[in-house]
Amino acid sequence: MREVIEGRVWTLPDDVDTDQIISGKYLTVIDPNELKKHVFEIALPEFAANAQSGDIIVAGVNMGCGSSREHAPQALKAIGVGAVIADSFARIYFRNSINVGIPTVEAPGVRQIFEKGDTARIEMRGGRIQNLRTGASVQFPPLPAHLLELLEAGGLVEKVKREIQAGATVSPR
Amino acid sequence: MKGNGTDGGQTLAEKILSRAGGLDRVVPGQIVEGQVDLAMMHEQGAQTVAPFHEMGAPRVWDPDRVVIAIDHWVPASTEGAAVLHRILRQFAKEQGLTHFYDVGNHGICHQILAEHGWVVPGDLAVGTDSHTNMLGAMGAVAAGIGPTEMAAVLSLGRLWLKVPPTLHVRIRGSFGKGVYAKDLILRILGEVKTTGATYKAVEFSGPTIEALTMSERFTLCNMTTEMGAKCGMVAPDATTYTFLEKIAKHPMHPVSPDKDAHYERVIDIDVDGLDPMVACPYSPDNVRPLADLLSKHVKVDQVFLGSCTNARIDDLREGARIMKGHKVAPGVRFIVSPASTSIYKQALEEGLIETFTEAGGVFTNSSCSACFGGNMGILAPGEVCASSSNRNFPGRMGAKDAEIYLLSPAATVAAAIRGELADPREFL
């Protein structure tokens, strides 16, 4: 995880649920490189063909509500999305997104300072997001230490792998 | 970190997470490493296998605490689904996971957990499906997680959780004729909205809740997911213990909320005089009294009586009671999908399948069926569906602009008979 993340912005409205990110008909697809062709097919149809590595998603409230499907963040990871930021997230989406290693930031008020195509600058530990076109910015409480650590590791797979290699064992019942 | 936090009582979720975290007490916002009592996977668990192997744990932490229940595409309806099933079967074999509910013994994963007693009072349960909240009706914390997180749970038997603040929903009064637990949870959703309980626990209590059956409690807790909640729960009581008496798979460790527990918010609802409710497109919180829509004559192309929310035997009985002596309206496709194979068998025994099929409906094998728009009962552009399921976001059951109205099972059957949204009380 980089301390400062900059990228071109794609905007999404409030309440983008997981059906609008990856619809039910693609749920049997588990190859992220295939999934990425269909991401946001309902919410933002032009995204899949035009998104580039490093792009940043800026969503409104309740981003990723709905199902527990991880296809959505996996597809964004395959594209190489630099970060996903939103006014607020649904809880499973937030966990999934962090777990696959995408910097995921909840920053109330962030959606209204961006338009599609702007450039966002995120200071992960500094807790500040700035629109480099307009200069507008919002503050956010930085992620707690255990989640920053998870992102530093590159995601949950790497983190648990290291823990197991370091001798982590199953909790006694 | 014993003794963290202030004095005073604890909510049901706080007590369960204290135990799961091996702590005397916890406070909202605190991060705990919770020991998992039960881990459930459906087809999405196929995406757990690769990360599990990559993490490098030699074995699944406790095969007796892992349940696999395939439900979205049963039997497999596409080659892709067949591959997911095969991945899970191979993984189960390799890891000695014997609690696998495969084709013929299948059902919707949450219903399988419920009717086989896999989640007991006091448990911390996680599943790879967002409606895992349903099992909170057992007096447990039950939450949905993604497949990568499940791989960590299978490796170490634990996961981090932020202790949620609790929204206390107190219910009094009695349901009138043609009004059900589904109408109550829709009524609550109309007030709390889809973000009103994000990250929170929802605790239901009050005389009405105490009088509800487990099936009705499942319906309530199930749709706390649509409120954004981490979990929805009912404190265990005689109803819970009777339900679990012969089927509980593990010892119970029941807890109850303290009388002086601190709740972030309290909502009081009196269901006396509550009317049948409907969630209109395109959000489960777009709730109105069904009566408001009747003059608009909302025609339906399809009616779905199914899903983890409302496809238990009591739902099918009530639907059949209304359907008896009527026919499905011309041009309407009426799909009934029981929540499990055992419910299927019971419906067969009680003649409910005959009632539905004689009326012109189709009674399918148990699965998530039309609820999620990826298997069967898919809607074409512009079509309208009356459904007993839980979500009506754009594209949920197929075409982006198809419209889904969420209703009680009784109200869906009324719509099937009339060919448009109708008041179930006219048939009772």
Query: Hey, what's the torsion of the CAs at B210, B215, B221, B227, to 10 degrees?
Result: -120
C-alpha A151 chain-centroid distance: 11
Q: Which of A19, A28, A99 sits opposite B78 (nearest CB)?
A: A28
Indicate yes or no: CB of A95 within 8 angstroms of CB of B54. Answer: no
Q: Residue B144: its chain A contacts at CB < 8 A? A: 68, 92
- Tokens linked to B55: 């993490």
Does A23 contact B373 at a Cβ distance shorter than 8 Å? yes
Partners of B396 on chain A (C-beta within 8 Å) are 19, 24
CA-angle at B306, arms to B124 and B145, nearest 5°: 30
A17 at interface of B, judged by CB pairs closer than 8 A: yes
Give phi and psi for A147, each to the nearest 5.
-85, -35
pLDDT value of residue B8: 83
Does A5 score more than 60 pLDDT? yes
Residue extents of the structural domains in chain B: 12-253+262-268, 278-427
Domain formed by B12-253+262-268, architecture: 2-Layer Sandwich (3.30)
User: In which band, very low, low, confident or very high, does the pLDDT at A24 lie, cut at 50, 70 and 90?
Assistant: confident
Nearest to B372 by CA among B74, B79, B148: B74
With cut-offs at 50, 70 and 90, classify the pLDDT of residue A66: confident
pLDDT the model gives residue A68: 86
DSSP secondary-structure letter at B119?
S
Phi/psi at B168 (5° precision): -100, 120
CA distance linking residue B271 with residue B285, whole number of Å: 18
Q: Is the Cβ pair A15, B283 closer than 8 Å?
A: yes
| Residue of B39, B91, B156 lying closest to A164 (CA atoms) | B156
CA–CA separation, B328 vs B319, rounded Å? 12
pLDDT at B5: 47
How far is CA B219 from its chain centroid? 6
Partner-chain residue, chosen from B81, B129, B156, that has the shortest CB–CB distance to A160: B156
In this predicted model, what pLDDT tens digit does every residue of B86-110 receive, in sequence order? 999 999 999 999 999 999 999 999 9
Q: Quick one: pLDDT at residue A25?
A: 84
Domains, in order of start, for chain A? 4-165 (3.20.19.10)
Determine, for residues A19 and B84 on separate chains, whether the beta-carbon distance falls below 8 Å.
no
The mean predicted confidence, pLDDT, of chain A is: 94
The pLDDT of residue A172 is: 62
* Interval A82-130: pLDDT, tens: 999 999 999 999 999 999 999 999 999 999 999 999 999 999 999 999 9
Torsions phi, psi for B349 (to 5 deg):
-60, -40
Its pTM stands at: 0.95
Q: Cβ of A160 and B55 within 8 Å?
A: yes
For strand B333-336 and strand B362-363, is the pairing parallel, antiparallel, or unpaired? parallel
From the CA atom positions of chain A, what is the Rg in Å?
16
Query: What pLDDT score does B3 carry?
Result: 40
- The class level of CATH for B278-427 reads alpha beta
Distance (Å, whole) CA B245 – CA B355: 32
Name the closest residue on chain B to residue A30, using Cα atoms.
B47
Residue ranges in chain B modelled with pLDDT below 70:
1-6
> What is the ipTM, given to two decimal places?
0.92
Question: Per-residue pLDDT averaged across A148-165, rounded?
Answer: 96
* Structure tokens, A83: 């970060």
Task: Determine the distance in angstroms separating the CA of B130 from the nearest CA of chain A, rounded to an integer.
Answer: 5
Q: In this structure, are residues B123 and B112 in contact, taking their beta carbons and an 8 Å threshold? A: no
The percent of residues in chain A predicted with pLDDT above 70, rounded, is 98
Verify whether the Cβ–Cβ distance A61 to B195 is below 8 Å. yes
Count of pairs with CB atoms under 8 A, one residue in A, one in B = 144
Tell me how close the Cα of A75 comes to any Cα of chain B, in angstroms: 13
